[in-house]
Structure 1
Amino acid sequence: MSEPPPGSRSPGPPHPGPPHPGLEALLSRPLWETLFRRRTHRVSRGASVPAGSMSYRSPHPPQPLGELEEAVLIALTGSSGLTMPDRPFEDPRDHQPIMAKPNLTMTGRTAGSPDNAQATHFFMINDSGTYYLRKLPPSPEPAFDPDTLIERARRSKVRVLDRRLDVAEGLRDFPAYLDSNRFLSNLEGSTLFLPVVDLSHQYINALMYLLTQPEGARPTLVDDRNFYRPAGVRKWIRNGFLNPDIKLPLGALGPMRTQIEADLLLQNMMLVADAMGLGAWIHATIGPQILLGDPKFSRTYGRMLGFDFVTPRFRPADVLRWHVPLPAYARLRSHPVGLRVDGEHLIKAACPPNHPSMEDAVDAVVRSKFGEGGIYTDKPLFARIYKDDYAQRYLAEAGEYDQDVIDCARDICVYVHATHGRFPAHTDAVHVPGIWLQTHHVETEYYERFFTAGLTDAHRRHTALWEAGETP
């Protein structure tokens, strides 16, 4: 996405208010202290804990997070500015050019991402509903004041459900919830942040990046779900583009490491929530397939988030490839490919039916990088990253994908969809890590009663700092 030119400013409050005591305390808290004092606090304000002689029943009603408290955490799911393409342009051994434009976006976040795919999408769940958090463009001059944080949080929220995402009463046992989680997770008053990861765009991009290896080092992709046959690359073996002695199974690629960014983002959010004096608890979500509305579970649990699913047509070879015995079991291989709300695609995987074919899906990824309006044709964007005339030098000198790389990756993607009826086949297009972050006000009396170091100063001072400065 193109950004405003240098010197422009995003809309914001003309007269920021006085310093907020909670934000001031957060900004001044030492990172080292936050890291070493971080502990999970599962018991939220208003909750009860049946634990024999250590049972506890809260005398307080649930206390939802304030809008500013949520806004700080929402900010952590979004942009933190722009990244830097600080990588070599040529092989130091022979000075041959190498591909130096791997990124899918130049927008940075508070956690790293393979090829800066930034494929993680967040949902926020609280008492007022379930929201998709839209990724806003980065502000040219980020501001950490209450008005700006709240304004950006409001703009990012897209209501998906007018209620808290949860299963019906009486269905909190497995496979919906795990063990004791069902008694403390997703309670009234809590705010949860649920990550889901669109793997499909980076799957295509990473295949192309993989194929930019030097001659003799490009692997032959084989399909470990189809007797280790070449994955649509026989032509590329014959013409010498791929090395048949380096075999790489599609299953070994898995999610291309793209899923790791969600875990890193959740950890950052947990640290900040703890530094704010909130309870912060990363734990297992409701069953991922149940959460998204997988047709295998929707009869029992409903549509939940209501993702679009694709069920591959059964083929006799699926008995051996995927151990699907009969057509009646074909939906065992259904997978999520996107989310639409009021006709708008909020998440749209790079595969059919979102694209007419895999050829079109691959071409769309390439255009998003190098076509008109693509990342690497946005000169004003790179002018904000580099000093002087280095932006123009980078765009002119850094190598892109060769056509053979694009064509070979396209053949692999076409093979995967044609053979297995879905893309990707060895992992889902939309991946749910299966964990979420619950944040809540801590039941301080419980921790004071039972634990020697149950609370930090941030927890003890939280109410005084954040409620006193809460904006209306």
Structure 2
Amino acid sequence: MRTAEGGAAEGGDPGHAGLADLFARPFLETVWRRRTHRVSRGAAVPAGSMSYRSPHEPRPLSELEEAVLIALTGCTGLTMPDRPFDDPRDGKPIMAKPNMTMAGRTAGSPDNAQGTHFFLINDSGTYFLRRLPPAPSTPLDATSLVARARQAKVRVLDHRLDVAEDRRDFPAYLDSNRFLSNLPGTTVLFPVVDLSHQYINALMYLLTQPDDVRPTLVDDRNFYQPAGVKKWVKNGFLNGDIKLPLGALGPLRTQIEADLLLQNLMLSAEAMGLGAWIHASINPQIALGDPKFSRAYGRMLGFTFVTPRWRLPDLWRWHVPLPKYASLRSQPVGLTSPDGEPLIEAACPPAHRTMTEAVDAVIRAKFGPGGTYGDKEVFARIYKEEYGQRYLAEASEYEERVIDCTRDICEYILRTHRRFPAHTDAIHVPGVWLQVHHVETEYYDKFFADGLTDAHRSHEGLWDD
């Protein structure tokens, strides 16, 4: 086995020259030299006098190259609940268990919600990447990486997620992207974000504020009326003078994790000497199979959509003029594998009969048996000595008033707007994806003064089996 300059990464021999080079490559060098390389092996670039057509066949990523990228989308160890338990102003306990999971990832997420799921698209099909238990904190060797990647992949389509060749234009693809995006030989990583579970969790976190500054949720799509919280204002639990519109919550920043993960993936692909390109994906509604587009483009990924039944108030609340336009408010709520396995289930109907049941399911997932804060062994691994048990005993959880008020808000949203959430989608699609490919090195050498890094130039010798 050849050994790259710099040797193996700390933690042992990675068992592969390309991995050894990747583990030893300076981070700042990769960041400083990061540039988008859109032209993949085998591609053609129609550009007037600078037109170029590759003399090569497309060359897909190897299983190991894809396995590295798959590992970077997943869990990488355990995180730390390093937050205060008490308000330093008066010593009162503050809620200190907001996390949805204690598994660490390569990018941060509000309350560690980790709502981002990835699809991987290559020449052999389209795959959902299943969340695996946390990997060791040190880099894995080649054999382990490939084994974990195989465990993670669930094939949902036996072909590339794409539209017909004669439909590769707007609204499916944007402008010049359609000539270089999602081509044979490329690997595409496509994120979608389940906002629903964190939407419920974040509502509870909002309601843990001190008594005098706990906000009153109002509905900006219903004349700014209290969002199911009149009794909570009346009994003093909420401050009626501090009004927070549901629309202002948006996706509660949960979608940011996907963007951070894409950037990490792009930097890692660059360090491997691959081309990496974050750009507009297929229109998200088309890609997921929104009923507004499925007649023209097919079911695509085949997400389950819910379309609220039209009612007269939808005219002024959501500007939906007639029942025949009800699909304007359709939203994705889940995905099932070809074998019937639920892959994504939003915390709302139809996965739950009521929003009270959905809220209770979130609570159980956090505090019930085997839940995030119910597994003492996990905290024994996070903390030294007996500090894990101290944390579980001393850190406060959501009080019952917080949970009850959240139930009322969520029930109000579903009752009033016939979907949950109403002001954002249960499953959000950022609308960008990352394409990774082998670079057409001759193209960059021909036209650009500094188009390639040493990682690109040495890639073939290090990574080819």
TM-score under structure 2 length normalisation: 0.96
Q: Which amino acid aligns with 2:27?
A: L
User: How far apart, CA to CA, are the structure 1 residues paired with 2:137 and 2:224?
Assistant: 52
Structure 1 residue 44 corresponds to structure 2 residue 40? yes
Which residue does the alignment assign to 1:211?
Answer: 207
User: How far apart, CA to CA, are the structure 1 residues paired with 2:364 and 2:14?
Assistant: 46
Structure 1 residue 243 corresponds to structure 2 residue 239? yes
Structure 1 residue 99 corresponds to structure 2 residue 95? yes
Q: Name the SS for the 1:232 alignment partner.
A: coil
Which residue does the alignment assign to 1:346?
Answer: 343
Structure 1 residue 398 corresponds to structure 2 residue 395? yes
For residues 434-453 of structure 1, the aligned pairs below 5 Å read 434-453=431-450
Please report how far the alpha carbon of residue 18 of structure 1 lies from its aligned counterpart in structure 2 after TM superposition.
7.3
Which residue does the alignment assign to 1:286?
Answer: 282
Find the partner of 2:111 among 112, 115, 119. 115
2:76–2:136 CA contact under 8 A, matched in 1: no
2:14–2:141 CA contact under 8 A, matched in 1: no
Q: Aligned pair in 2 of structure 1 residues 319, 141: CA closer, same or farther (>3 Å)? A: closer
Please report how far the alpha carbon of residue 372 of structure 1 lies from its aligned counterpart in structure 2 after TM superposition.
1.7
Which residue does the alignment assign to 1:387?
Answer: 384
CA displacement, residues 402-440 of structure 1 (integer Å, 9 cap, x when unaligned): 000000011000000000000000000000000000000
Please report how far the alpha carbon of residue 139 of structure 1 lies from its aligned counterpart in structure 2 after TM superposition.
3.3
Q: Aligned pair in 2 of structure 1 residues 253, 127: CA closer, same or farther (>3 Å)? A: same
Q: Which amino acid aligns with 1:174?
A: F
User: How far apart, CA to CA, are the structure 2 residues paired with 1:38 and 1:143?
Assistant: 22
Structure 1 residue 191 corresponds to structure 2 residue 202? no
2:13–2:20 CA contact under 8 A, matched in 1: no
Which residue does the alignment assign to 2:420?
Answer: 423
Q: Name the SS for the 2:312 alignment partner.
A: coil
Find the partner of 2:159 among 163, 169, 186. 163
User: How far apart, CA to CA, are the structure 2 residues paired with 1:367 and 1:71?
Assistant: 33
Q: Name the SS for the 2:167 alignment partner.
A: coil
Structure 1 residue 229 corresponds to structure 2 residue 207? no
User: How far apart, CA to CA, are the structure 1 residues paired with 2:138 and 2:341?
Assistant: 28
Which residue does the alignment assign to 1:4?
Answer: none
For residues 2-151 of structure 1, the aligned pairs below 5 Å read 19-140=15-136, 142-151=138-147
Mind listing any 5+ residue stretches in structure 2 that lack a counterpart? 1-11
Which residue does the alignment assign to 1:321?
Answer: 317
Q: Aligned pair in 2 of structure 1 residues 187, 343: CA closer, same or farther (>3 Å)? A: same
Please report how far the alpha carbon of residue 168 of structure 1 lies from its aligned counterpart in structure 2 after TM superposition.
1.1
Please report how far the alpha carbon of residue 144 of structure 1 lies from its aligned counterpart in structure 2 after TM superposition.
1.8
User: How far apart, CA to CA, are the structure 1 residues paired with 2:103 and 2:432?
Assistant: 25
TM-score under structure 1 length normalisation: 0.95
User: How far apart, CA to CA, are the structure 2 residues paired with 1:62 and 1:377?
Assistant: 50
CA displacement, residues 310-361 of structure 1 (integer Å, 9 cap, x when unaligned): 0001010000000000000001100000000121110000000110110100
Please report how far the alpha carbon of residue 140 of structure 1 lies from its aligned counterpart in structure 2 after TM superposition.
4.8
Q: Which amino acid aligns with 1:464?
A: G
User: How far apart, CA to CA, are the structure 1 residues paired with 2:217 and 2:136?
Assistant: 42
Please report how far the alpha carbon of residue 462 of structure 1 lies from its aligned counterpart in structure 2 after TM superposition.
0.5
Single out whichever of 387-396 and 135-144 deviates more from structure 2: 135-144
Q: Name the SS for the 1:68 alignment partner.
A: helix
Please report how far the alpha carbon of residue 260 of structure 1 lies from its aligned counterpart in structure 2 after TM superposition.
0.0
Please report how far the alpha carbon of residue 143 of structure 1 lies from its aligned counterpart in structure 2 after TM superposition.
4.6
Q: Aligned pair in 2 of structure 1 residues 25, 143: CA closer, same or farther (>3 Å)? A: closer
User: How far apart, CA to CA, are the structure 1 residues paired with 2:137 and 2:452?
Assistant: 35
Please report how far the alpha carbon of residue 377 of structure 1 lies from its aligned counterpart in structure 2 after TM superposition.
1.1
User: How far apart, CA to CA, are the structure 2 residues paired with 1:288 and 1:309?
Assistant: 13
Q: Which amino acid aligns with 1:369?
A: K
Q: Name the SS for the 1:280 alignment partner.
A: strand
User: How far apart, CA to CA, are the structure 2 residues paired with 1:30 and 1:324?
Assistant: 54
Q: Which amino acid aligns with 1:83?
A: T
CA displacement, residues 256-299 of structure 1 (integer Å, 9 cap, x when unaligned): 00000000000000000000000000000000000000000000
Q: Which amino acid aligns with 1:405?
A: V
Which residue does the alignment assign to 1:363?
Answer: 360
* RMSD between superposed Cα atoms in Å: 1.0
Q: Name the SS for the 2:211 alignment partner.
A: coil
User: How far apart, CA to CA, are the structure 2 residues paired with 1:400 and 1:196?
Assistant: 29
Structure 1 residue 312 corresponds to structure 2 residue 281? no
Please report how far the alpha carbon of residue 226 of structure 1 lies from its aligned counterpart in structure 2 after TM superposition.
0.7
Q: Which amino acid aligns with 2:460?
A: T
Please report how far the alpha carbon of residue 17 of structure 1 lies from its aligned counterpart in structure 2 after TM superposition.
8.3
User: How far apart, CA to CA, are the structure 2 residues paired with 1:140 and 1:435?
Assistant: 29
Q: Which amino acid aligns with 1:199?
A: L
Q: Name the SS for the 1:251 alignment partner.
A: helix
User: How far apart, CA to CA, are the structure 1 residues paired with 2:438 and 2:168?
Assistant: 23
User: How far apart, CA to CA, are the structure 2 residues paired with 1:280 and 1:169?
Assistant: 23
User: How far apart, CA to CA, are the structure 1 residues paired with 2:140 and 2:386?
Assistant: 31
Which residue does the alignment assign to 2:370?
Answer: 373
Which residue does the alignment assign to 2:8?
Answer: none
Mind listing any 5+ residue stretches in structure 1 that lack a counterpart? 1-15
User: How far apart, CA to CA, are the structure 2 residues paired with 1:122 and 1:271?
Assistant: 17
Single out whichever of 136-145 and 93-102 deviates more from structure 2: 136-145
Please report how far the alpha carbon of residue 169 of structure 1 lies from its aligned counterpart in structure 2 after TM superposition.
1.8
2:126–2:155 CA contact under 8 A, matched in 1: yes
2:289–2:298 CA contact under 8 A, matched in 1: yes
2:14–2:140 CA contact under 8 A, matched in 1: no
Q: Aligned pair in 2 of structure 1 residues 368, 18: CA closer, same or farther (>3 Å)? A: closer
Q: Name the SS for the 1:118 alignment partner.
A: coil
User: How far apart, CA to CA, are the structure 1 residues paired with 2:290 and 2:196?
Assistant: 18
Please report how far the alpha carbon of residue 142 of structure 1 lies from its aligned counterpart in structure 2 after TM superposition.
4.7
Q: Which amino acid aligns with 1:430?
A: I
